[in-house]
Chains A and B, each alone.
Chain A
Amino acid sequence: MAAFTVTANGGTFLSRLIGHIHSRFVDPRTQVACLHTSAVLHTKNWERKNRILYPPQQKDEPPRPAEIYHSRRQIKYSKDKMWYLAKLIRGMTIDQALAQLEFNDKKGAKVIKEVLLEAQDMAVKNHNVEYKSNLHVAESFSSKGKYLKRIRYHGRGMFGIMDKVYCHYFVKLVEGMPPTVEQSTAFDQAKEYVEQLKKRTIIYSL
C-alpha cells in the first residue's frame, strides 16, 4: 500500500485540492451563515427574470419595451468558443443575428440559433410582443457548466484529468431597434483632444 503511489501530471490535481481548504471543518451549529452556504450554483436566476410583473403604466409615460430572458444549460461546447459567437450577435437585430448564425460554421452557432428562435416564439406567445422582427439582442453571454472528469492517459504511467466541457448560454431580447452607438471618426477624436488641451487652466493663478 505504501509503495503504490500515483503522481498527478503537472501537479494540477494537488493544487486544486489545496485551493479547497476552507474552514468547513467548524461545527455546523456554531457556524454563522456566510455567502457560501447558499446554493449559488443551482439557482436558475436568469429564468426567474421572466416572471417580474411591472405595475400598469400611466397614459403619459412612454411604453416600456418588452424584455425576454432565455437560456440553455449544459451545452456540449466550450465556454470560450461559445464566447466568440455570443460576442458576434451582441447588439444585432434578431433577424440579422439569425442570418449570421445560420451561415456560421461553428457547432455553437446551431445551438444559439435554436435558442434565439425559441426566445422569439416565447416573446410572441407569452410576453405580448407585437412584431417578432422588432426584437434585438441586448445581452448575450456564455458561462461554464458542470464538467465531467475523465482520465487522459499519458506515457510512463502518468495521467491527467480530462474535462468534458459544458457551457450555458444566456440571451436577453428587448423589443425595438438596437440603440445606435455613435461612431466618432478619428478627426472628431483629435478635435476633442485639442479642445481638452485648450481648456486647461492653471489654478490659483492671477
Chain B
Amino acid sequence: MNMATSICRTLKLFHETTWHNLKHVVVPIRTKKRFFIPPPVNVKSKTQAEQMAKARASGVVIPQEYMERAINISCTAGIFDPYIPPEGDARLSSLSKEGLMQRTKQIQQTAASQLAIRKIKEHDSEFSTKEFAVRAQEIFIEAHMALTQFNKEKLHSLVTERCYPEMVRGNRYKTLHWRFIESLEPPRIVHARCPDMISKGNLYGQVTIRMHSRQTLAIYDRFGRLMLGDEEEPRDVLEYLVMERHLVNPYGCWRLHGKIVPAWAPSKGPVIKTVMLPGPLLKPGEEFESLNYEVPKPKPVQWYK
C-alpha cells in the first residue's frame, strides 16, 4: 500500500489563464503524482541541427514566420523635385522694386508646374489655384488643432502617412499648446508636380503652398513644465507646405504631406534647458580650456519635414 501521503491532485491551479480561457478548460481529477520530477536543465551543448531534428522527431511544429512589411500606397514616400524657395523671400515688401521683380518671377511659374496643374485639373475638375491655397491653409490649421488634442482619426484623414510620424514622434508624453493667430499674407501656390510611382499612370499630385502667418506655440514636457516656446508670444512664420493627393483614386483627398525648410531659414532659438553636447576625447594630461575647441555648427541645407 502506498504509505506516503502525497496530496492528491484533485485541485488544479489556474494560474495563468484569463477569464476567457476558463470556458474550455477541463479540470483533471485524480492525477496523483507520486514522485517529483524536476524540469530538465537546459543543455546548451546541442547543435542547431540536432535540436531541429529532435524537435521534428517529437512532433513540435514551429510555424514559419514571414518577414513582411506592409507598404502603404495611398501616399508617396517623399517630396519629388522639391521647391527651392528663393532667398530673402519674406524680407522684401511687394511695394519696392526688387520685391515687384521677385513677385513677377514667382507669378510666371515654371512650365513644369503649369503642366502639373493642368494634369491635376484633368483628374480633379474642381481644382482652382486660388481656392486651393485657402483650403490648404484650413487643412493645415485643422491638422495642428487635431495634433494638440491628439485626435488620431482626424489627424490621419488630414495628414498623409508619411507626414504623420514626423508630426507625432516624441509628442506622446508631451502637451502641445498651439494657436493660429492670423495670416499675414494670403497663401499662394508656388510649385506643383505630378510624379507617377512604380507604374505609369499611377499619378500623385504634390503642390507646394507658401504661407506667412502668425502663430503661438508652447510645448510642455511630461511633468507640465515649459520646454519650448511661450504661450503668449506670437511669432511670424513663413512656411512652405506640401499637399499631396492620389489623383487616380476617386476617393483621394488633399492631405498635408510635408514641409520644406529652406537653407536660409533663421534658427529656431534655444530650448529652455541647457543641453550637454559631447566634446572631444581628452588625453590624460590635456585640459579642455587649452584646446580652443569650437562647437561645430550645423550646415545650412534645405531639408524636408
Contacts and interface: CB of A to CB of B under 8 A. Distances in A.
Interface string A121-143: 00010111011100000000000
Interface string A30-42: 0001000101001
Contacts of B199: none
Given A64-B223, A127-B222, A128-B273, A21 B11 contact: yes
A8 to B, nearest CB: 7
A63 interface: yes
Interface residues of B, number: 41
Interface residues of A, number: 47
B223 A4 contact: no
Contacts of A33: 19
A179 interface: no
Interface in A186-202: none
Given A25-B10, A25-B12, 4 more contacts: A25-B27, A39-B18, A128-B221, A150-B38
B35 A4 contact: yes
B11 A56 contact: no
Contacts of A25: 10-12, 27
Nearest to A42: B16
Given A4-B34, A5-B4, A14-B6, A56 B16 contact: no
Interface in A86-140: 124, 126-128, 130-132
Interface of B: 1-7, 10-14, 16, 18-19, 22-23, 25, 27, 34-36, 38-39, 41, 173-175, 177, 218, 220-227, 273-274, 276
A53 interface: yes
B149 to A, nearest CB: 13
Interface of A: 1-2, 4-8, 13-14, 17-18, 20-22, 24-25, 28-29, 33, 37, 39, 42, 51-57, 63-67, 124, 126-128, 130-132, 148-151, 159, 161
Given A24-B14, A128-B273, A29 B23 contact: yes
Contact of A57 (B12, B174, B224): B224
Contact of A64 (B3, B27, B39, B225): B225
A24 B12 contact: yes
Given A55-B224, A127-B221, A2 B2 contact: yes
Contacts of B2: 1-2, 5
Contacts of A29: 23
Contacts of A2: 1-2
Contacts of B10: 25
Nearest to A58: B224
